Amino acid sequence: MKRIGIMTTGGDCSGLNTTIWRIMCGAKLRGWRVFGIVDGTDGLYDTPPNAIELTDDMLTVEMTRMSGSFLHNGHAGALNFETAAAHGKLNDFNKRLHKSLAELKLDAMVLIGGNGSISLAWAHREIYRDVQLVCIPKTIDLDIPLTDRTIGFDTAVEQLTKFCDQLMLTARSHHRWFVVQSMGRDCGALALHAGIAAGASAILIPEIKFNTDALIKHIKNAPTDYGVIMVSEGITLRGHSGRPADMISRKLTAAGIVNRTAFPEHTQRSGDTTATDRILATSMADTALNAIENNETFVMVAQQDGKCKTISLAEFATAGESVADPNIPDMKTSNAYVDLDDPLLDVAHDMGIYIGEVK
């Protein structure tokens, strides 16, 4: 009988509970025992490791639509890869994680994480040398290479779109523009998708250069005197500092355009998981279980052309743009960004949305 562990790490999002539940159900159908690691690597570092055996009455189907993680993702103040590196304890930290896996007698670990967590798992793969490691990509940023979709992205798009829908009503009432700042870090996918869905008049993302004078001209020539300007949190404006939405808002105000800023913040990570994300979570969980059954290890589940498959973590690590981690020596994160050939950019441009200087 196999013993498998499940761990959620990094930032939370919707779809995590669906993934955990589906893994639990599929594993039990195979006669396997399933253990949830509480608080991610924080819990794995604990002595003894903070793990619970998952049962049918512990995580029920009606709970799986909820956002966040039933197992939690960690807590402030705990020793993690960054703080361990800062205090010269990284080797000891890694040894403790490896020892915990041995103490739990796990045959496999399913790590549900973002590009940072998956990059760390590959970079410090000695931790998992005695278990099968299968990673499942989740993030609202859609910044993981080699997968067309990540768990949580669709729900975040829906949350951000609904936020903008409500703003549009008050914008119309007051002849006012709202500059909405989305999450996404250095990837503009969330802003692009939600901006199109919400009918934003302009969408600014880190991947595309923009001109504030052109933006102002576009807004002044708009058919309405109200609307939404979507700004990804990763954009920069030369000679200016502060939050991106505030920087753009000041430029608009100076040009005589009445506007306000709006920050949906962590509401983008919340909300009941959409049907699309539930289906993706189920497909990725099934693929992960099949990988364990086939004795695969150091792989990531990816959706490509509508079908889920596994790819090696070595391929994942080299496929994206590698960015050095300033807090962990010799650590690089594999990142994906909005492709400049993304057909949605053409759609946005053809629909009269200002998306920067691309044409």
Instruction: Tell me which residues are annotated as active site.
Output: 141
List beta partners, residue 261.
179
Q: How far is CA 84 from CA 54, 323, 325, 328, in A?
A: 29, 20, 14, 9
The answer for 330, left when phi > 0, alpha when psi is -120 to 50, beta otherwise, is: left
In one letter, which amino acid is 255? A
Report angle CA 137, 336, 77 to the nearest 5 degrees: 60
What gap in Å lies between CA 312 and CA 301, rounded to an integer? Answer: 9
Q: In which element (H, E) is residue 40 found?
A: helix 40-45
Burial 201-236 (b: 16+ CB within 10 A, else e): bbbbbbbbebebeebbebbeebeeebbbbbbbbbbe
Please answer whether residues 132 and 191 qualify as being in contact, where contact means their C-beta atoms are separated by less than 8 angstroms: no
